[in-house]
Amino acid sequence: MAGFRFIDLAKPFLPLIPEVEIPYEKIGFDEKVVYTIISALIYLFTQFPLAGVAKDVGAGSVQDPIYFLRSVFASEPRTLLEFGIFPIVSSALLLQLLAGLKIVKVNFKLRQDRELFQTLTKMIAILQYFLLANVFIFSGFYGENLSVVAIVLLNVQLVAAGIFATLLVEVVDKGYGFGSGAMAVSVVATATSFVADVFGVTQFPVDGDGHREAQGAFINLTQSLRSSHKTYTSAILGAFNRDYLPNLTTAFLVVGLAAVSGWLQNFRIELSIRSTRARGINNVYPIRLLYTGGLPLLFSYVLLFYIHIGAFILIQIVAKNDPSSLIYKLLGGYSSVNNLLYVPQFPLSLLTPSKSLIENLTRQPLTAFTFTAFLVVSSVWFAVVWQGISGSSARDISVQFKEQGITLTGRREQSVAKELEKVIPVASGAGAGVLAVIVATGELLGLKGKGASIVIGITSAFALLELITVDYQQSGGQSALAQVLGAPGGGF
C-alpha cells in the first residue's frame, strides 16, 4: 500500500457527505449572533425523548453508566442526543492531535488534503454515533427484547440526530457564527442546565404521598419554606442536602468553580514588546496561564468516556453484569442506584468520582488520588502537545511578530522564538494542571460532571467572548442588537 494514507479513506465518500456552504459574503455581526444562538437552541431542542424505548425501562434493568460524563458533552439519557457532542468533539480532537503528531499524514498546505481531513473527521463522528447507538441498544439500555422495527427506528433517530448535531456545529464553524460550534453548544447547554438546576420550575414526584418538589434548588427552597408539611429547619436542610434532585450545595459549588475559573482566566504574564519600525512605541503582549483554555480538560473527558464505554461494553454486553464472571471480577461491575444510575465498582470506580464527598472518603478513598492523577496527567500532556501543533506555538508567534514588525523589548528579533519557547509551554502545562486539579476537587465533592462542565463552559465562554469582541470592533460597533440591549459592547 505505497502512498496510501489514512485520510484517503474519506475519498470515496466525499460526494455523499453533506457540506455546509461557505458564506459568499461577509456575515454581519448581528447575523452571526443570531446564527450562533439559533444553532445552539436547536441543539437544545433536539434533546427530545427517543421514540421506541420500552415502557418498562427503569427498575431492575440497565441504567446509565456514564451519568458523570454527560453534562460535559451536553448529552441527556434516553433522548435523541444520547451522546451529545461527544462523537464530534472526540473525532476532531483525536484526529487533529494525530495529524499534529504526524501519525496521520496530512499536508495542510494542500486544499485537497484539508478537505479530505475535514470529511474524514465528519465521517468518524457519524460512525461513532452509529457505533455508540448500537452499544446502547444491545446493552438493553432501551429495554430488553426490542423488536427489529424498534432497533431500526432507534438507530435512525440516534444517527440522524448525530448528523444534524454535526451540521449545526458546522454552520457555526464555517463562519456563520462565532468561533466554534462545539464550544457554543457547550456554553449554551451548560448555562441552560445551570439555570434549570437553580431556577427550574418543573415539578417531580419525590415520595409515595404524592409530594412534589421543583427541579431548581432555589425554587425548591422557597416552595419548601411555604409548604405546610415541613418545618423551616427541615426545609432548609432538605434544600441543601437532597440527593435525588439538584440541591443548593451543588449550586454554590458550581458558582464557586465558575468564579475560580473566571479568575484564573485572567492570570497572565505580560511580555513587553516594541515596534521594530518606529521608535518609542511600546506595548505588552499577554501570555495567558490558561493558554489552551478548557481544551485539555475536554480531552481528558474524551479519554474517560472511551474508557467507561469500553468497560460498559465488556461488563454489560459481554458479561451481562454477572458478578460471577471473570470480567466482572477483573474490571468491577455496576450496581444500580435509585433505579437511575449505574455506579461502577472497584477497580473501575478508580476513575469514577462518587456521588458525594462522604462516599468518596469512606467507600473509595483511592479514587481521590487516581482520578486527580488521571485528569492532571492527561490534561498537562495534551496542553503541552496542543500548544505546539495548534498554530500558536512559540515559533508561530515569533513569525507573526516578524510580520507585524514587533519584537520583545531587549531581545534581538532572532531570539524571540527562543524567549517565547521558555514561556508558552510552561504556561500551557501549568494552566492545564491547575484547571485539572480544580475540576477534580469539584468532582470529588460530588458534582457528577457539573464541575467539569462548568469549568469547560466558562473557559469556552471566555474564548468565544474574545472572538466576539474582536468581531464587534472590526465591524465598527455597528450593531442593532447592541443598541437594543443598550450595551457599549466589547467593554473589555
Q: Contacts with other proteins in 135-164 (CB under 8 A)?
A: 146-147, 149-150, 153, 157, 160-161, 164
Measured at the alpha carbon of residue 341, what is the angle toward residues 336 and 342, in degrees to the nearest 5?
55
Q: Which of 83, 117, 136, 328 binds other proteins (CB under 8 A)?
A: 117
Site string for other proteins, 57-86 (x = CB under 8 A): -----------------------x------
Kindly state the smallest distance separating residue 70's Cβ from other proteins, in Å: 15
Kindly state the smallest distance separating residue 85's Cβ from other proteins, in Å: 10
Q: Which of 187, 341, 343, 408 binds other proteins (CB under 8 A)?
A: 187
Count Cβ neighbours within 10 Å for each residue of 451-487 and write b for 16 or more, e otherwise.
Answer: bbbbbbbbbbbbbbbeebeebbeebeeebeebeeeee
Kindly state the smallest distance separating residue 188's Cβ from other proteins, in Å: 5
Burial class (CB in 10 A: 0-12, 13-18, 19+), 113: middle
The x, y and z cell numbers of residue 247, run together, are 440541591
The footprint of other proteins on residues 300-359 (CB under 8 A) is none
Can residue 421 be called a binding residue for other proteins (CB under 8 A)?
Answer: no
How many residues touch other proteins under the rule CB under 8 A: the total is: 129
Stretch that binds other proteins, among 61-69, 115-123, 131-139, 217-225 (CB under 8 A): 115-123
Kindly state the smallest distance separating residue 21's Cβ from other proteins, in Å: 5
Question: Rounded distance, CA 175 to CA 29, Å?
Answer: 11
Can residue 467 be called a binding residue for other proteins (CB under 8 A)?
Answer: yes
Residue 67 near residue 448, CB atoms below 8 Å:
yes
Max Cα–Cα distance, the chain, nearest Å: 79
Q: Which amino acid is at 44?
A: L
Candidates 225, 124, 167; CA nearest to 21 is 167
Closer Cβ to other proteins, 249 or 292, answer by number: 292
Closer Cβ to other proteins, 69 or 219, answer by number: 219
Mark out the alpha helices in 172-282 (DSSP H runs). 181-199, 217-226, 232-241, 248-265
Q: Which of 5, 8, 9, 19 binds other proteins (CB under 8 A)?
A: 19
Can residue 15 be called a binding residue for other proteins (CB under 8 A)?
Answer: yes
Closer Cβ to other proteins, 63 or 265, answer by number: 265
Can residue 2 be called a binding residue for other proteins (CB under 8 A)?
Answer: no
Q: Which of 126, 302, 408, 463 binds other proteins (CB under 8 A)?
A: 463
SS3 272: strand
Can residue 89 be called a binding residue for other proteins (CB under 8 A)?
Answer: yes
Can residue 12 be called a binding residue for other proteins (CB under 8 A)?
Answer: no
Closer Cβ to other proteins, 132 or 397, answer by number: 397
Q: Grid coordinates 463522528 are at which residue?
A: 125
Task: Kindly state the helix (H) or strand (E) to which residue 468 belongs, with its residue range.
Answer: helix 450-474
Q: Which of 349, 428, 453, 479 binds other proteins (CB under 8 A)?
A: 428
The footprint of other proteins on residues 361-420 (CB under 8 A) is 380, 386-393, 396
Closer Cβ to other proteins, 197 or 443, answer by number: 197
The x, y and z cell numbers of residue 236, run together, are 432548609
Q: Which of 298, 309, 406, 436 binds other proteins (CB under 8 A)?
A: 298
CB pairs under 8 A, 24+ apart, for 52-59? 52/142, 52/146, 52/149, 52/150, 52/153, 52/154, 52/157, 53/78, 53/142, 53/143, 53/154, 54/142, 54/143, 54/144, 54/146, 54/150, 55/143, 56/143, 57/141, 57/142, 57/143, 58/339, 59/339
Query: C-alpha distances in angstroms, 309 versus 64, 69, 83, 312, 437?
Result: 11, 11, 11, 5, 24
Closer Cβ to other proteins, 202 or 227, answer by number: 202
Can residue 459 be called a binding residue for other proteins (CB under 8 A)?
Answer: yes
Site string for other proteins, 243-282 (x = CB under 8 A): ---------------xx--xx-xxxxxx------------
The footprint of other proteins on residues 216-235 (CB under 8 A) is none
Q: Which of 430, 441, 475, 481 binds other proteins (CB under 8 A)?
A: 430
- The string of DSSP letters for 333-393 reads -EEEETTTEEEEPTTGGGGS--SSHHHHHHT-TTHHHHHHHHHHHHHHHHHHHHHHHSS-S
Can residue 440 be called a binding residue for other proteins (CB under 8 A)?
Answer: no
CB-based contacts of 208, cutoff 8 Å, min separation 6: none
Can residue 205 be called a binding residue for other proteins (CB under 8 A)?
Answer: no
Can residue 439 be called a binding residue for other proteins (CB under 8 A)?
Answer: no
Kindly state the smallest distance separating residue 196's Cβ from other proteins, in Å: 5
Kindly state the smallest distance separating residue 273's Cβ from other proteins, in Å: 15
Question: Rounded distance, CA 250 to CA 447, Å?
Answer: 6
Peptide bond into 347 cis (omega under 30): yes
Kindly state the smallest distance separating residue 204's Cβ from other proteins, in Å: 12
Residue 470 near residue 32, CB atoms below 8 Å:
no
Closer Cβ to other proteins, 201 or 361, answer by number: 201
Residues in the chain: 492
Kindly state the smallest distance separating residue 169's Cβ from other proteins, in Å: 6
Can residue 21 be called a binding residue for other proteins (CB under 8 A)?
Answer: yes
